[in-house]
Amino acid sequence: MLSYQHIYHAGNTADVHKHAFLSWMLARLTDKPKPLSYIETHAGRGGYQLDAAEALKTGESAAGVARMLAGFAPDHPYRQVVEATRARMGRDSYPGSPLIAAELLREDDRIHLAELHPQEHAALRGAVGRRARVHQADGFALALSICPPEPRRGVLLIDPSYEIKTDYETLPRFIAKVHRMWNVGIVMLWYPILQDAPHRPMLRALEAAGLPGALRHEVAFPPVREGHRMVGSGLFLVNAPFGAAEELARVEEMFRSLGQGGHASDQ
């Protein structure tokens, strides 16, 4: 039984890292008129209220979006999506990755979302409405069933909760398989950097796989409270789009200027 609920962590520093880059990438990909596919294996509930009891219990968004949003230029796609969400859903609302995609993608782009947890899945359907195909399914199986998608251009976001420890072992094989099926697809994997670094063997396997356009980016930040194990956020990309490294360097500089740590490549 899955127990992870992203509402406890929505808008935290790791979400800023992941969602800022995702927003930038989707905005850049829509510069070209050709349609896109967007697939998410672990979608969550789509939209979050940061004044909900669960979010207030951890208070994680205080060091994240609440503190960092003003550090983004007014025309940065992440800032624009967060502000558009607040205008539509209230000042304490926050867009998860499915709402970021729904906001930035166009009518003829296709969105496929998998969420296994029954309540999160029901909330996700409500959040994205008819804009996306929402599946109550295992995200890994869903992605394999639709890759290569139509349209061929596009992105697969993999954002597991890592509740199942074997995820670290299976992800490199899964990503290599997706890449064999969909060699032009951009794959974006998020992983936490925990104090005991369980992500390291996974990264070694991903880096040894020799995937094209591979790009890894990590930021370190102070634990959100004493004893909290997460001390950073990581992204691993396959077929990273043009300009990705430069954008990630800008995000990292922003983290550093806000005293949120900085590069964590040797963690």
Active site residues per annotation: 159
Q: What is the DSSP string of 117-164?
A: SHHHHHHHHHHHGGGSEEE-S-HHHHHHHHPSPSSSSEEEEE-----S
Residue 12, judged by CB atoms within 10 A of its CB (0-12, 13-18, 19+), counts as: buried
> Taking CB under 6 A as the rule, does residue 96 contact ligand SAM?
yes
Binding flag, residue 11, ligand SAM (CB under 6 A): no
**Neighbour tally for 166: CB within 10 Å:** 8
Among residues 114, 178, 206, 238, which is the contact residue for ligand SAM, using CB under 6 A?
114
Of 11, 44, 185, 234, the residue at the interface with ligand SAM (CB under 6 A) is: 44
Report which residue's Cβ sits closest to ligand SAM. Answer: 96
Closest CA to 139 of 120, 242, 127: 120
Q: Which of 11, 26, 42, 206 binds ligand SAM (CB under 6 A)?
A: 42
| Rounded Cα gap, residues 264 and 193, in angstroms | 9
Among residues 49, 131, 138, 215, the one that binds ligand SAM under rule CB under 6 A:
138
Instruction: Tell me: does residue 6 bind ligand SAM (CB under 6 A).
Output: yes
CB 207 within 8 Å of CB 175: no
Contact letters for ligand SAM, residues 153-192 (x by CB under 6 A): ------x-x-------------------------------
Binding site for ligand SAM (CB under 6 A): 2, 4, 6, 41-44, 96-97, 114-117, 120, 138-139, 159, 161
